[in-house]
């Protein structure tokens, strides 16, 4: 793959585990094809284990995140210092995201949809949107030059389903086992703290795959403005799914 064809995918999650379980299939597909990926966790999710002290669990979650990122093929794994449950879309955090986007310079960003019952997920959406917006403005003077995100997509997450509308289905059949191995690095995703996240999301991938005639698929939602596409002629699918 030529350097000009190599894309950089940035997967953003409110907590360690969010990006792996929702974006991991897509990340693995891209890295196995030779593209770059970075995992960005806005909090460690350190308050999510009632059987462990938060500081101790944070250290464990950072280790889990790094191990999972390695299995997904991501070249960088970042865990920020914001406290779990107290992520705020304030100017300081928005500018932090602006700086990260300018430093990392991703082509594609995968993140939370706004329709979530979890406050940290809603904040992650807003921080990403507003930080990405500022990152693209040359007149916003920071340490790095402006950068425009060319592809922004929202992930399917059982906690973020209010008004979620899948727009694109990606065939991820070839990376399911890689993704499962990465998710098993997390005690939470293995179902040892609450419910079995990996079992649920594997079933979801099978369901989404059945909808488009493949074994496993991951969906993403487009920003509403991106759903408006100008075409000269209506496209015709070369490999159509049954429509009648």
- The string of pLDDT tens digits covering residues 82-91 is 999 999 999 9
Q: Reply yes or no on whether the pLDDT at 72 is more than 90.
A: yes
> How high is the pLDDT of residue 49?
95
> How high is the pLDDT of residue 100?
99
State mean pLDDT over 139-156.
Answer: 98
Q: Reply yes or no on whether the pLDDT at 244 is more than 70.
A: no
State mean pLDDT over 91-110.
Answer: 99
Q: Is 43 helix (H, G, I), strand (E, B) or coil?
A: strand
Query: Would you say 146 and 136 are in contact if contact means Cβ atoms under 8 Å apart?
Result: yes
What confidence category does residue 243 fall into, taking pLDDT thresholds of 50, 70 and 90?
very low
Residue with tokens 């990403």: 128
Average pLDDT score, the chain? 95
What confidence category does residue 236 fall into, taking pLDDT thresholds of 50, 70 and 90?
confident
The C-alpha atoms of residue 170 and residue 17 are separated, in whole angstroms, by 21
Least reliable range by pLDDT among 59-68, 89-98, 227-236: 227-236
Q: What is the per-residue pLDDT across 174-202, written as a single tens digit (0 to 9) for each? A: 999 999 999 999 999 999 999 999 999 99
How much is the pTM? 0.94
> How high is the pLDDT of residue 229?
83
Kindly tell me the burial class for residue 190, based on how many C-beta atoms sit within 10 Å of its own C-beta (0-12, 13-18, 19 or more). middle
> How high is the pLDDT of residue 3?
66
The two three-digit tokens of residue 225, written as one number: 């403005």
State mean pLDDT over 130-151.
Answer: 98
Q: What is the per-residue pLDDT across 14-29, written as a single tens digit (0 to 9) for each? A: 999 999 999 999 999 9
Q: Reply yes or no on whether the pLDDT at 168 is more than 90.
A: yes
The CATH number of domain 3-224 is 3.40.50.10320: yes
Q: Reply yes or no on whether the pLDDT at 239 is more than 80.
A: no
The C-alpha atoms of residue 25 and residue 216 are separated, in whole angstroms, by 10
Q: What pairs with residue 221 in β-bridges? A: 154
The C-alpha atoms of residue 220 and residue 164 are separated, in whole angstroms, by 9
Give the up-direction half-sphere exposure of residue 160: CA atoms within 13 A in the CB hemisphere.
24
> Where do runs of H (alpha helix) occur along the chain?
18-32, 54-72, 91-104, 119-135, 176-183, 197-212
Q: Reply yes or no on whether the pLDDT at 4 is more than 80.
A: no
Q: Which one is predicted more confidently, 190 or 5?
A: 190
Phi first, then psi, for residue 9 (nearest 5°) are: -100, 130
> How high is the pLDDT of residue 241?
56
């Amino acid at each position: 793959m030529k350097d000009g064809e190599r894309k950089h995918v940035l997967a953003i999650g409110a907590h360690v585990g969010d990006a792996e379980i929702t974006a991991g299939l897509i990340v693995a597909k891209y890295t196995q094809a030779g593209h770059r990926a970075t995992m960005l966790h806005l909090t460690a999710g350190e308050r999510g284990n009632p059987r462990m002290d938060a500081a101790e669990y944070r250290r464990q979650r950072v280790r889990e995140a790094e191990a999972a990122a390695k299995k997904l093929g991501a070249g960088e794994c970042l865990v920020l210092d914001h406290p779990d449950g107290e992520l705020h879309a304030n100017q300081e955090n928005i500018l932090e995201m602006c700086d990260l986007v300018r430093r990392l310079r991703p082509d594609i960003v995968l993140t939370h949809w706004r329709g979530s019952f979890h406050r940290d997920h809603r904040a992650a959406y807003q921080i990403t949107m507003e930080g990405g917006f500022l990152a693209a403005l040359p007149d916003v003077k920071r340490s790095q030059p402006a950068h425009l995100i060319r592809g922004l997509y929202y992930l399917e997450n059982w906690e973020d389903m209010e008004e979620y509308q899948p727009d694109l289905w990606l065939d991820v059949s070839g990376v399911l086992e890689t993704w499962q191995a990465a998710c098993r690095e997390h005690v939470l995703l293995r179902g040892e703290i609450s419910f079995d996240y990996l079992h649920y999301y594997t079933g979801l991938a099978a369901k989404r795959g059945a909808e488009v005639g493949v074994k496993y698929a991951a969906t993403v939602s487009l920003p509403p403005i991106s759903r408006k596409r100008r075409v000269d002629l209506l496209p015709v699918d070369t490999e159509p799914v049954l429509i009648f």
